Amino acid sequence: MPSLYWDNLNNSSPPKDIMAGHEELDIRELAQIFDADNRDVYLSLYVDLSDKEHDKNIKRRMRAISAALAGRDHKQNLKEAVEKALAAIDSLESKGRAAAVFIHLEDEFLRCASLAATVDTMMILDASPYILPLARFEDEYEQFLLILIDGQHAEVHHVEDARGQQVAEASHTSLGRHKSGGWSQMRYQRIREGVVQKFYDKVVEQVDGILREHGDMRIIIAGPGSAKQQFQDRMSKRSKELVIAIENVDMDMIGTDSLISQFTELAKQEEGEREGQDIDRLRKELLSGTLAMTGIHDVLDAAEHGRIETLLVLEGHQQPGLKCEPCNAYMRKAGQKCPECGGAGNEVELMNEAVEAAIRISAHVEFTDHLLLKDLGGLAAILRW
C-alpha cells in the first residue's frame, strides 16, 4: 500500500513508532481473545488492496462506527487505532492482494498480515476479533504441498493461504548418454535407474519429513513426462493417499509463481468437491438423528463440550445475538439477562461466535452456499460423539 493512501485518508504522516506488523496470523490465538468487561475494544480491519475504492469504504465505516460511539475519548481511540492499523499495513514487508489487521483500542495488541488473495474491505468493532472472513479465507485456500519434479530435479513448495514457499529441493547428476565400448548397455541402464530411484527416494523422504512436522495435507505432483508417475510409485503409503492431482506441465516454459497460482486454484476446486462430501455426510447424520446438530445455540453448546468435528456455515449468513463474555454465556431470548451474573451482555455476531468456538477445539470449518444449510438456518455441525 503506497504511503499516498495514508496521506489521502488522514491528511497526516503515519506515526514513526509503527513497525511492520506480523507476517502471519494465528487464527486460533485470535479465536481465544475477548474483552472481559464486554467492551467493544477490538477493531478488525480487512482491506482489499486490489480495489481502488477501498479507502472510501474504510472512511465510510470509520464515520459510521465513530457516530455510534459515546464520548470523545472513545472516538479518539478509534481514530488512533485506525491510524495504527493502516500504518501497520503500510509497513508490511510483503504486499499481497489484501491485508487483515486486529488491534485493541486501548493497549498494544496488534496483529497484521498480508493476504495473497482478495477479501472484501470491512471494519468491525467488537468485544473480540472478528475472524469470520479470515476463517472463510483459510477454508478456501487450505494448505497443500506442490511437488514439481522431472527426471533430475525436484522442488517441494508448501502453499498456504494462496502463498507458496519452497521447503525442499533435490537433484542428481545424469550419467549422460551411453557410448559404445566400456559399460554394457544393460549395466549402464541399471546404474542409471539406481541413481534416479535414489533421487526419488530422497524426495519421498523430504515429503514424509514435512508431513511428520506439519501434519497431513493434500499433495499435488506436477512435471513433464513420466517422472511424476514414477515418483508417485515410490511414495510412502501415507503420502500417496494424500495425492489429489498429478498434472503435466513444462517447468521450463512456466514460472514457479504462475504454477503456484495455477495449482492453488486447482486445490480450491478440489476443496469445493470435498464440501459436497461433508454435505452428504451431514444429510446422512440428520436422517439417522445421531451425529448432527443444528440451531445456533445447540451448536455453540456442542462446541463448548468439544463435540464438533466439522462446522458447516452458510456463506454470507449473519445472526445477531447477545453474549456475556466474562461468563461465556449467551442470551437465547430477547430481554433475557445473563443466567450466570445477571448482566445485559454485549451484542455479537453468532456466526462469528460459532466459528471461533469451532476453531478453539480444532474442528474443521467449512463454508458453503448449499441449499441444505439455508433450510437449516445457516449453520450445522457434524459431531465427534
Q: How far apart are CA 292 and CA 281, in angstroms?
A: 9
The pLDDT value recorded for residue 201 is 94
139 falls within a domain: no
The enclosing domain of 21 has a CATH number of: 3.30.960.10
138 falls within a domain: no
69-72 contacts, C-beta under 8 A, 24 or more apart: none
305, 255: one domain = no
56, 152: one domain = no
The pLDDT-based confidence of 190 (bands split at 50, 70, 90) is: low
248, 322: one domain = no
Spacing of C-alpha 81 from chain mean position: 25
The pLDDT value recorded for residue 90 is 93
**What is the reported pTM?**
0.83
The pLDDT-based confidence of 188 (bands split at 50, 70, 90) is: low
Closest C-alpha to 136, from 257, 262, 298, 271 = 271
Closest C-alpha to 355, from 203, 129, 177 = 129
322, 266: one domain = no
Q: For 348-365, what is the mean pLDDT?
A: 96
167, 247: one domain = yes
The pLDDT-based confidence of 174 (bands split at 50, 70, 90) is: low
Dihedral sign of CA atoms 201, 246, 233, 271 in order: positive
41, 122: one domain = yes
Cβ neighbours of 236 (radius 10 Å): 13
- Asked if pLDDT for residue 182 goes beyond 60, the answer is no
The pLDDT value recorded for residue 193 is 72
284 falls within a domain: no
- Asked if pLDDT for residue 365 goes beyond 90, the answer is yes
The pLDDT-based confidence of 18 (bands split at 50, 70, 90) is: very low
Mean pLDDT, the chain, rounded, equals 88
Question: Looking up cell 464486554, which residue turns up?
Answer: 38
The enclosing domain of 323 has a CATH number of: 3.30.1330.30
- Element holding 267 (H helix, E strand): helix 256-288
Give CA angle at 136 (356, 375), nearest 5°: 85
256, 375: one domain = no
The pLDDT value recorded for residue 251 is 82
The β-bridge partners of 46 are 100, 122
In the chain, % of residues over pLDDT 70? 89
All three cell numbers of 194, joined, read 539406481
The pLDDT-based confidence of 328 (bands split at 50, 70, 90) is: confident
149, 265: one domain = yes
The pLDDT value recorded for residue 179 is 52
- Which range of residues forms the domain containing residue 323? 291-383
Closest C-alpha to 145, from 202, 230, 216 = 216
The β-bridge partners of 204 are none
Alpha-carbon separation of residue 68 from 50, 61, 82, 120 (angstroms): 29, 11, 16, 22
- Asked if pLDDT for residue 344 goes beyond 80, the answer is yes
- Name the E strands within the chain: 42-48, 98-104, 110-115, 122-126, 144-149, 153-160, 163-171, 218-223, 243-248, 292-294, 308-314, 320-324, 329-331, 346-349, 364-368, 379-383
Q: What is the pLDDT of residues 257-280, one digit of tens each?
A: 899 999 999 999 888 888 899 999
Alpha-carbon separation of residue 287 from 184, 229, 278, 280, 290 (angstroms): 68, 42, 14, 11, 8
282 falls within a domain: no
77 falls within a domain: yes
The pLDDT value recorded for residue 20 is 36
- Asked if pLDDT for residue 226 goes beyond 80, the answer is yes
Query: What is the SS3 assignment for 22?
Result: coil
Out of 64, 97, 130, pick the residue that ends a domain.
130
243 falls within a domain: yes
Q: For 181-195, what is the mean pLDDT?
A: 61
The pLDDT value recorded for residue 3 is 34
Q: What is the pLDDT of residues 63-97, one digit of tens each?
A: 999 999 998 999 999 999 999 999 999 999 877 89
- Asked if pLDDT for residue 6 goes beyond 60, the answer is no
The pLDDT value recorded for residue 248 is 94
Number of structural domains in the chain:
3
- Asked if pLDDT for residue 8 goes beyond 90, the answer is no
- Residue length of the chain: 385
22, 88: one domain = yes
